């Protein structure tokens, strides 16, 4: 959430809003063009014959990439919550340090770079995956703040818009793939739908968290408690009441964004009701913590690969 009291930019009013709309359109068009280029029907050489990929090909042939996502464990959720808080505070820190157009441009460039790395990988690589999540978190925060702080779109409207967008993504995803599970992300198209979903959930979570903290005037700490309660619903429902695993996952995934961002804002914002520790120190602590956890996952992943290779050799 952008909390500067002013914006040092020469254009004002409708002229500035028009510039922001053009900028948003440009960034989104570049992002979507990259996704389309990566995911659009491609030709492959199979036994000397060229043929197009399709859903039936994906189902009937061996997957050309391994599952690109991490195992959903406790450490997954810990890092996910930390990245949401990091995205919030880094977006605010960079916005205060730089002009908004420069900060947003750098965020978009880094996001595209991370997505290219992620789509280029043939399997799950911890540091690439979590770098992409962090960049989505940072840019998703900036995008939601543009709508609220710069274009003046009410939080309730942007929140509803992101909810509708998410529903549409899920409908199209399921219509084409018949599966929304994160355990089956082994085709380009499914991976594209996954990252589109992640992008929207971060923007949705940002708008939702700001809506409860600012519009409903609950404050950041109370909002954090609220979302901590809400994120417990799918955990309890799945564990003891048979809640659908896919619904439970995405419900919890969306709730991590306002959960982490609310507590992060409570820690750094220098205002009444918050601790005012500063966004710089909080950014540093979150960055170091995430790097340490991802390094642990990388070592664990390499160890698992080495063990698998040893088993294959002995066989």
What global pTM score does this model have? 0.78
Phi, psi of 43 (to 5 degrees): -100, 140
Contacts of 236 (CB under 8 A, 6+ apart): none
Per-residue pLDDT tens over the stretch 129-144: 999 999 999 998 888 8
Strand partners, 43: 52
Per-residue pLDDT tens over the stretch 290-301: 999 999 999 988
Statement: residue 312 has pLDDT above 70:
no
- To which residue do tokens 């698992």 refer? 304
DSSP letters along 148-183, please? IIIT---HHHHHHHHHHHHHHHHHHHHHHHS---GG
């Amino acid at each position: 959430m952008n909390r500067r009291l002013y914006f040092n930019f020469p254009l004002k009013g409708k002229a500035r809003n028009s510039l922001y709309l053009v900028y948003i359109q440009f960034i989104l068009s570049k992002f979507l063009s990259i996704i389309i280029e990566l995911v659009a029907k491609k030709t492959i050489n199979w036994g000397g014959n060229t043929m197009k990929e399709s859903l039936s090909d994906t189902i009937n042939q061996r997957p050309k990439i391994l599952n690109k996502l991490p195992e959903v464990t406790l450490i997954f959720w810990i890092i996910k919550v930390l990245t949401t808080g990091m995205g919030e505070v880094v977006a605010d820190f960079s916005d205060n340090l730089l002009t908004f157009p420069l900060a947003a441009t750098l965020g978009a460039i880094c996001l595209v770079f991370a997505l290219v790395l992620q789509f280029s990988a043939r399997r799950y690589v911890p540091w690439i995956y979590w770098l992409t999540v962090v960049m989505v978190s940072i840019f998703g925060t900036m995008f939601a703040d543009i709508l609220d702080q710069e274009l003046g779109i009410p939080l309730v409207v942007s929140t509803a818009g992101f909810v509708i967008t998410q529903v549409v993504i899920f409908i199209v995803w399921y219509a084409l793939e018949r599966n929304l599970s994160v355990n089956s992300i082994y085709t380009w198209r499914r991976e594209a739908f996954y990252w589109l979903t992640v992008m929207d959930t971060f923007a949705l979570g940002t708008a939702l968290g700001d809506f409860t903290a600012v519009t409903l005037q609950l404050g950041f700490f109370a909002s954090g408690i609220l979302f901590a309660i809400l994120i417990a619903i799918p955990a309890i429902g799945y564990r003891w009441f048979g809640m659908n695993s896919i619904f439970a996952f995405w419900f919890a995934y969306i709730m991590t964004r306002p959960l982490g961002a609310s507590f992060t804002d409570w820690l750094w914002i220098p205002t009444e009701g918050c601790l005012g520790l500063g966004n710089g120190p909080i950014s540093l602590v979150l960055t170091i913590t995430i790097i340490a956890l991802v390094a642990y996952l990388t070592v664990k992943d390499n160890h698992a690969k080495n063990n698998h290779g040893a088993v294959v050799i002995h066989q």
